[in-house]
Each structure stands twice: as C-alpha cells, then as structure tokens.
Amino acid sequence: MARTIRRLEISDHADVNALCATLEEHDYVPDAFPQWADSKDSEPVGVFEGKELIGIVTLNLVPDSDIAWVNGLRVKADYHRKGVGSFATAHIIALAKQKGVRTLWYSTGSNNEASIGLAKKMGFVVADRVGYFRVDKPFPPHPSPSPNLHPLTVGPERLSEMLKDDSELVESKTLPLAWDFDFKTLAGLRRMAAETEFKVLIDEDGRSSGLYYSKAFVREDGTRITFSIFSRDQATFVDIMSRAFDDLENTGADRGVFFLSPKAKDWALSLGVVPGEYLNSSYFLFQLDPSKTVPRGRISPRSR
Ligand SMILES: CC(C)(COP(=O)(O)OP(=O)(O)OC[C@H]1O[C@@H](n2cnc3c(N)ncnc32)[C@H](O)[C@@H]1OP(=O)(O)O)[C@@H](O)C(=O)NCCC(=O)NCCS
C-alpha cells in the first residue's frame, strides 16, 4: 500500500494518541502534540499507510536561532524496522535544511538501541553525553547540606562569565536541561533561564565549586523534578545531591531525574543512590548540520 507523509493537524490528535498507545506507557507526546500542532515554530508530520497513521515526528525550531529539535519520533509497534522512522526523519532533515537550520538536535537514552541506531544511520553524531538516572520516592536517606557551601542564584550573564573563567566546571559546549540541551553560550543560557534558575555553590574561599538547576514536570502519573548537576569535587556533589533530595521531599515530588557530568555520575555510583537498572545509563545529544547533508532522493519506506 502507498505510504505518504504530510503535516499533522490538531484533528489528527486521536490517531497520534492511538499510535503512541502501541508503545511505552506515559508517553509525553500525546500531551505535547496539541502545542506542536498549534505553534508556528513546530512542524509535526505523520507517515501514513493508506489512511493509517504509522509514524510521527516533529521539527521544533528554537526561536531567534538556527537551532531546531527532532522531537517525538514514534513508529507504530507493528511497523518497526520497516524504514518508517528513517523516512520520517529524512523528511524532517530536509524540512530543517529548507528553513535554514544549522544545528539539528536529537536526544535519546543510552538504552534505546533503536533510536541510537536510527540517529547514526541518518548521519547524526554525538555532541554531548551526560550521566542519567532516576530515583522514585521514598528517597534515600541523605546528610543535611553543608553550612560551609552557599548556593547563589545567578542570572545567565553572570553564569556565562563564570563558565568562561572556569572551563573545568562544565567541559562540554552544551548543558542539559531536563531531556533537552542548550549551548553554554550567553544566548543558550538566556533561553535556559526562561525555564530554570541557575544555582552556583560558593565555597569558603569564594570559589564556585558546583552548578545545579532543576525543572519540574507535573504529569498524570505524578510529579517529577529533573536536576542537572556539575561539580568540581565529590564533597560538593554529595552536598548538591542532599539539596536535591531535600527539594524532592519538601515539594512532595514522586520522582527525581538526574542529568550529571561524567565525573558526577561516578560519584553518584559511589553514593549508592543509583538504582541497578541505571548503573550504566547515560543520555545522548545527537547533532547534525542539515545544510551539509546531501538530499537522499530515493529514501522511501520499504514494505517488508
Ligand atoms: C526508534 C524508532 C522510531 C525507529 O523506527 P523504525 O521505523 O523502526 O526505524 P527504521 O526501520 O527506519 O530503522 C532505521 C535504522 O535504525 C536502526 N534500528 C531500528 N530499530 C532498531 C533496533 N530495534 N535495534 C537496533 N537498531 C535499530 C537500524 O540502524 C535501522 O537501519 P537498518 O534497518 O537498515 O539496520 C522506533 O523503534 C520507535 O518508535 N521506538 C519507540 C519510540 C522511540 O524510542 N522513539 C525514539 C525517540 S527518542
């Protein structure tokens, strides 16, 4: 049967929900879809076999930049490994190229082999990698935060200066914020500051020894708070974890989700707070410059 691809509208919402229901539980895509269908910065597209929606993906442009995200790639369970995901992604890459995007981002967990395989096949390369784990309540016992470390809330301008003076605290070019990333530049930090508050821990000598920030999500299955944590030393990391667990307990959250610099992930392992299934988990930022891709004219979904 012929496969086609077109922009999705809000009237496709029920079909989007039905497709997602064939995959993991508590997917965020059904809730995010109405906003994508409505936004001038979003291009949700669907692959159809006849009238049946079998694949979806959205291009989300980051306003006032040449950055965009590939979000919510989903292929109906019965149609996996038949070229639908690559077909949808090739379309999104071509769309991004038309719109002048130079940085196309796609993020996924290290345990999602299909997603990683697809990203690599489509020409994406790993641009950043952070440690990842989540902890559900009841949260583990933890020491009280140290009175010798002082959290200071800083704006993007101040943080940008701090990170320039101190390239060791954050070694990568990007920073994670929940399941997204942004550049460590002033423009990137300003975008992130619209969604979070940066906290820098200052030690007794007045040096910045750690950076952390959080973002909360209220979903049908409970409230989760995501934390991004960078630290110069293990003691500061342990202190930030105590502050994070205090926040989780004080706000009545159900789950904490942690995105950590590679060093911090090792320290979390030694703290014993990482559940077994996340011992080797990380979270990847994949990147591609659509202007440098050669159009793949003959990409079409294979029928197997
Ligand atoms: C990830 C997903 C979209 C892939 O869609 P798909 O239509 O099955 O992918 P394709 O058939 O186009 O496969 C393209 C490439 O991806 C890789 N791939 C796909 N499924 C794979 C799997 N189960 N294991 C390893 N690699 C896989 C392969 O490299 C494949 O190329 P090949 O078939 O020539 O070897 C699909 O598995 C899915 O919907 N998963 C659930 C939702 C999800 O995880 N989305 C990713 C967003 S983070």
DSSP string covering 177-223, please? ETTEEEESSHHHHHHHHTT--EEEEE-TTS-EEEEEEEEEEEETTEE
Mean pLDDT of all residues belonging to the chain: 93
Distance from Cα 82 to the centre of ligand 1, integer Å: 9
Distance from Cα 121 to the centre of ligand 1, integer Å: 10
Q: Are residues 76 and 142 in the same domain?
A: no
CATH code of 13's domain: 3.40.630.30
Structural domain includes residue 82? yes
Compute the 3-state secondary structure of the chain and give helix, strand, coil in percent, each to the nearest 5. 35, 35, 35
pLDDT of residue 298: 46
Mean local confidence (pLDDT), 277-291: 96
Kindly state the DSSP code that residue 123 receives in the 8-state scheme: T
Structural domain includes residue 301? no
Structural domain includes residue 292? no
Q: Are residues 280 and 141 in the same domain?
A: yes
Which burial class, exposed, middle or buried, applies to 147 when counting CB atoms under 10 A from its CB (0-12, 13-18, 19+)?
Answer: exposed
Query: pLDDT per residue over 125-144, tens digit each?
Result: 999 999 999 999 999 999 89
Question: CA–CA separation, 137 vs 207, rounded Å?
Answer: 33
Distance from Cα 98 to the centre of ligand 1, integer Å: 25
Q: Are residues 96 and 157 in the same domain?
A: no
The yes-or-no verdict on residue 303 having pLDDT over 50 is no
Q: Are residues 140 and 91 in the same domain?
A: no
Q: Are residues 60 and 194 in the same domain?
A: no
The yes-or-no verdict on residue 206 having pLDDT over 90 is no
The yes-or-no verdict on residue 124 having pLDDT over 60 is yes
Distance from Cα 53 to the centre of ligand 1, integer Å: 17
Q: Are residues 176 and 280 in the same domain?
A: yes
Least confident of 14-18, 45-49, 72-76, 218-222: 218-222
Least confident of 30-44, 104-118, 140-154, 280-294: 140-154
Structural domain includes residue 110? no
Atom of ligand 1 nearest to the CA of 301: 12
Question: CA–CA separation, 12 vs 177, rounded Å?
Answer: 30
Q: Are residues 258 and 143 in the same domain?
A: yes
> Considering its fold, how many domains does the chain have in total?
2
Pocket test for ligand 1, best of 26, 56, 81 (most atoms within 8 A of CB): 81
Q: Which residues line ligand 1 (CB under 6 A)?
A: 23, 73-75, 80-86, 108, 112-115, 117-118, 121
Q: Are residues 93 and 141 in the same domain?
A: no
Pocket test for ligand 1, best of 47, 115, 296 (most atoms within 8 A of CB): 115
Question: CA–CA separation, 196 vs 188, rounded Å?
Answer: 12
Kindly state the DSSP code that residue 65 receives in the 8-state scheme: S
Q: Are residues 164 and 279 in the same domain?
A: yes
Structural domain includes residue 120? no
Question: CA 87, 91, 94: angle at the middle one, nearest 5?
Answer: 140
Q: At a CB cut-off of 8 Å and minimum separation 6, what does 187 contact?
A: 65
Structural domain includes residue 43? yes
pLDDT of residue 51: 96
Residue closest by Cα to atom 15 of ligand 1? 118
The yes-or-no verdict on residue 145 having pLDDT over 70 is yes
Mean local confidence (pLDDT), 77-96: 98
Q: Are residues 219 and 80 in the same domain?
A: no
Distance from Cα 100 to the centre of ligand 1, integer Å: 27
Q: Please name the residue that has the structure tokens 């800083």.
A: 154
Atom of ligand 1 nearest to the CA of 75: 39
Inter-CA distances, 277 with 115, 255, 266, Å: 19, 15, 15
Q: At a CB cut-off of 8 Å and minimum separation 6, what does 194 contact?
A: none
Mean local confidence (pLDDT), 178-195: 98
Is residue 297 within 8 A of residue 93, CB to CB? The reply is no
Structural domain includes residue 295? no
> How many other C-beta atoms can be found within 10 angstroms of the C-beta atom of residue 183?
18
Distance from Cα 97 to the centre of ligand 1, integer Å: 22
Question: CA–CA separation, 258 vs 214, rounded Å?
Answer: 9
Q: Are residues 236 and 138 in the same domain?
A: yes
Structural domain includes residue 42? yes
Residue closest by Cα to atom 25 of ligand 1? 114
Q: At a CB cut-off of 8 Å and minimum separation 6, what does 42 contact?
A: 35, 36, 58, 59, 60, 61
Atom of ligand 1 nearest to the CA of 82: 11
Q: Are residues 241 and 156 in the same domain?
A: yes
Question: Under DSSP, is residue 138 helix (H, G, I), strand (E, B) or coil?
Answer: coil
302 pLDDT tier (thresholds 50, 70, 90): low
For the chain, report the end-to-end CA distance as a whole number of angstroms. Answer: 11
Atom of ligand 1 nearest to the CA of 80: 8
Domain that holds residue 41: 3-102
